[in-house]
Structure 1
Amino acid sequence: MTGLKPIIALSFILAIGFLLVILSSALFGNYFPLLVVANYVLTPLPNAICGRASSSSSIFSDGAESSSVVDLGRFLTGFLVVMGIALPGVLAHSGIITVPAMAMAVVGGLLIYGTVVCFGLFFMEEEEGALGF
């Protein structure tokens, strides 16, 4: 039962992050901050695609290509994370959205990304504990 409390807390923080992003659009009558949500959907795709491509390598590869494919996936994921945080700033700088909407979208994005990282660390610790490492 002790493992359930962190999951509930992280889910609550994730919901607050999404609420901030949605409110940054709805309160100010401009729905451009919702472009950040599309970024949240696209962010895990490079790691998933490149990880799948490296695991299905042929017998002729020496492993060097697979690590470069994984590195490319990590680079693209990092680029999308930074873009998700910087996109509201660019929109506010160009006058498309207001500065309070930008602040709410950035804080919501940081909460969402932080929660996803914490979920990953939490489940990684559980798998290592179950395997005895």
Structure 2
Amino acid sequence: MDLKVSPLTKIISLSGFLALGFLLVILSCALFHNYYPLFDILIFLLAPIPNSLFSKSNLDNADFMSDSPSNAQDFGSFLTGLLATSGIALPVVFYHCQLIGLMSCVMSILGGLIIYSSIVVFSWFFHSSWEHEEDALFG
């Protein structure tokens, strides 16, 4: 059973998922009258950028004898991991410093994880479909 999902269905479902993440983070701010968790949105929006900038498809491998990832790819993965971990840790630090409440912390972390995962899934879905389209054109 081969289930084909149209790109429009993917875009609509992922945009709804992304809107849910934004809603959770904004509600964690608005319900408790404290807007520190908005920094979480910024961190989770910036998190996938280093991986996409330093990906294998965007860089030429300087060492032609090596099959391992380049230093730039490792650095991009490190920055992405640093930002994703910071996005989880920032609301926890705000909660520990008593700047936000527990529910605000939980909503902010869940919303940020939903935002980050929807961006990653969006790039994964459409990166694989772009590769298949290129093969169909020239192969």
The TM-score, its normalising length taken from structure 2, stands at 0.79
Q: CA deviation at 1:14?
A: 0.2
Match of 1:84 in 2: 87
1:8 to 1:117, Cα distance in 2 relative to 1, 3 A: same
Aligned with 1:96: secondary structure? Answer: coil
Give, as a single letter, the amino acid of the residue that structure 1 aligns with 2:63: D
| 1:7 pairs with 2:11 | yes
Task: Give the C-alpha shift of residue 129 in structure 1.
Answer: 2.4
Residues 20-57 of structure 1 show CA distances to partners (whole Å, capped at 9, x for unaligned) of 111111110111101112213432343355459x8378
In 1, Cα distance between equivalents of 2:113 and 2:42: 15
Tell me how large the CA RMSD over aligned residues is: 2.5
For 1:27, give the aligned amino acid.
L
Equivalences for residues 19-98 of structure 1 within 5 A: 19-51=23-55, 55=59, 61-62=62-63, 67-98=70-101
1:119 aligns with 2:122: yes
- Cα gap change, 1:21 to 1:50, in 2 (>3 Å): same
List runs of 5+ in structure 2 lacking aligned partners.
none
More helix by share: 1
Identity of aligned residues (%): 42
1:55 alignment partner, SS class: coil
TM-score of the two chains, using structure 1 as the length reference: 0.82
Query: After superposition, what is the alpha-carbon deviation per residue over 1:48-98, rounded to whole angstroms, capped at 9, x for unaligned?
Result: 55459x8378xxx5357x801210111111110111112111111221100
Q: How many residues align?
A: 128
